[in-house]
Structure 1
């Protein structure tokens, strides 16, 4: 099978889209894979209608008037582990985040090769000691497997040890598109197989850790790959009920393989369609659809919030210490900006915990009043 990046962002036949729209409007569980592929190619009035149907689905499964967000801080594992004169101590980063009102630390990235065998567990323990009540959302499937290998443990046993040390949940990133050929093309043949990602995520769920789920679009995938990816996430959710949310994100040009060129940049039409289809295809299984605001322009953020997404994600706090956190370093969303975004889409900002609960009153972030426009 040949993967053709230039066939990804195509407009479908209007008649096919109209027929699919009729089916999804009547029952979101009724469309076939052909229907979903056609809807990913919706444009014009049909795209507007698709987004309206997706937003109606959002309103039926989440608080229709809320735009939720979590107060968190991102930490890059490799930066912290490497240390250095300009790198703050992990305990200082966590303590400052807690004092600033964060309820979550998100930590991703691999440990250096020469780190201690139990290095991941040591990091978890440091976070837990610095702020016992903060939720640690950490370590993608590749890092989980790295930790298990270093300690010569089965993946499930390592995850159990991480849970006992203070890990609260696992990022479902590194999924890209759950298709071995797509992953091989994106990585030059070095990507772990889909089966490893699925096995690791299900092991996390089985030991009592929940996780996010993700979809990466805007590269070499076809509409069929997107549909199959979402179907697989649904199957995992039916087995484990461990996904807290779905995060749909475009591949950034800076991360795209050179051979993609300009074709690696997702269009605004494509972004709207992928988010709407993601909301509808996972309807009844994954309740929350999060906006990857660090990877979208401001107008696209508003588009997808009007087309099925209910959550804006994390504020990514930076304080005096200014932690490095990979591609998202220096990206911060203020409470005022959240209030402004909420007003623009006719909603009210509501703070949540990582697991979509309500934070204690003492941890609530003051949200300014912003008039709608």
Structure 2
């Protein structure tokens, strides 16, 4: 049993002295700690958490500079815009997004089993409607697409890229541990080896992806570190990840109050530590760390800009034609919103492309 700042810590947690020792080591070699070091840092609190976040923030500045980046995009739900009868509406949604300044369409979700559409035709319909980058289809959906046209996954990925697909979301990762994945609600998830195989195949086909983690449910800190290690290993093999995005299992945002929702203190501490540790462990591999404001709310996400995060993700445009966009429906920011955030926190502002080119 360890004593932490005058209180009794949970059994098995490192004491303050251990955390301080690993902080000193991380200052010398941020990406070179063994697993016990990163595990100790994940438990940092109080003054040690502030020091960890400061270390990550300094590493962020040295790696990517002071610019707060963002992308202007619109989310679409595949089922809501697929089918021959929806083509006109889909074209209108894409055209409107382009007129509003979007550079990206993000689309996730499977085609309905009885759909008269197919993924390749849907990709072409979107990219023919406006000159936008299409960021679409999770690993499960890529496998479904290959099965529907009866070709191996690598061939399907080549066809998808030729049809206009630009990158894929690295979602569905949740926690890359088969035991955890089997117990999570909302499953079943792909086995870890299948998720990795699909993501690496996409990278080999020339499609970049995000790297994600969903935390705060059944996983242990050791499984969080193992997840980050696996992402780092994939990046060493393919170089295909453009950014890392960590999200809580249960979003605390709601459309009516997404800017300043009440975030439990335990989740705030955990979120700050995870983003800071990710900045350290992934240093030299994945440069961009995103603060997931649609899941945490704007206020809590802004805190992460001082814990190693440099990117605010997509603005999630609505426009006049409000599509069904899943759990993020009704959540949107404006350029003026992120301009204010950057100014208040001493950052410059940079609109980016999906793959982190500058606009």
Partners of 2:74 and 2:316 within 8 A in 1: yes
Aligned residue number for residue 69 of structure 1: 70
Instruction: Please state how far the C-alpha of 1:42 moved relative to its aligned partner.
Output: 0.3
Q: Deviations over 1:138-170 (max 9, x none)?
A: 001010011111111111111111000000000
Partners of 2:181 and 2:187 within 8 A in 1: yes
Instruction: Please state how far the C-alpha of 1:299 moved relative to its aligned partner.
Output: 2.9
Q: Deviations over 1:65-84 (max 9, x none)?
A: 21000010000001112688
Partners of 2:251 and 2:295 within 8 A in 1: no
Aligned residue number for residue 79 of structure 2: 78
Instruction: Please state how far the C-alpha of 1:9 moved relative to its aligned partner.
Output: 12
Instruction: Please state how far the C-alpha of 1:300 moved relative to its aligned partner.
Output: 1.6
Q: Deviations over 1:288-312 (max 9, x none)?
A: 0011110113332121101100000
Partners of 2:207 and 2:240 within 8 A in 1: yes
Aligned residue number for residue 316 of structure 1: 316
Shift in CA distance, 8/289, structure 1 to aligned 2, threshold 3 Å: farther
Q: Verify: 1:356 aligned to 2:352, yes or no.
A: no
Instruction: Please state how far the C-alpha of 1:188 moved relative to its aligned partner.
Output: 7.4
Aligned residue number for residue 122 of structure 2: 123
Where 1:30 maps in the other structure, the secondary structure is coil
Shift in CA distance, 20/162, structure 1 to aligned 2, threshold 3 Å: same
Where 2:358 maps in the other structure, the secondary structure is coil
TM-score by length of 1: 0.87
1:145-156 equivalences in 2 (<5 Å): 145-156=143-154
Partners of 1:316 and 1:333 within 8 A in 2: yes
Aligned residue number for residue 30 of structure 1: 32
Q: Verify: 1:338 aligned to 2:348, yes or no.
A: no
RMSD of the TM alignment (CA)?
2.3
Shift in CA distance, 336/188, structure 1 to aligned 2, threshold 3 Å: closer
Partners of 2:172 and 2:189 within 8 A in 1: no
Partners of 2:32 and 2:281 within 8 A in 1: no
Partners of 1:82 and 1:112 within 8 A in 2: no
Shift in CA distance, 279/88, structure 1 to aligned 2, threshold 3 Å: farther
What are structure 1's unaligned runs of at least 5 residues? 1-6, 256-263, 360-373
Where 1:136 maps in the other structure, the secondary structure is strand
Instruction: Please state how far the C-alpha of 1:16 moved relative to its aligned partner.
Output: 1.6
Shift in CA distance, 51/105, structure 1 to aligned 2, threshold 3 Å: same
Shift in CA distance, 154/268, structure 1 to aligned 2, threshold 3 Å: same
Partners of 2:178 and 2:191 within 8 A in 1: yes
Where 2:321 maps in the other structure, the secondary structure is coil
Instruction: Please state how far the C-alpha of 1:12 moved relative to its aligned partner.
Output: 3.7
Q: How many residues align?
A: 341
Aligned residue number for residue 140 of structure 1: 138
Shift in CA distance, 205/124, structure 1 to aligned 2, threshold 3 Å: same
For 1:165 and 1:57, the matched residues in 2 are separated by 39
Where 1:58 maps in the other structure, the secondary structure is helix
Where 2:184 maps in the other structure, the secondary structure is helix
Instruction: Please state how far the C-alpha of 1:128 moved relative to its aligned partner.
Output: 1.2
TM-score by length of 2: 0.90
Shift in CA distance, 207/81, structure 1 to aligned 2, threshold 3 Å: same
1:282-301 equivalences in 2 (<5 Å): 282-301=282-301
Where 1:89 maps in the other structure, the secondary structure is helix
Where 2:30 maps in the other structure, the secondary structure is coil
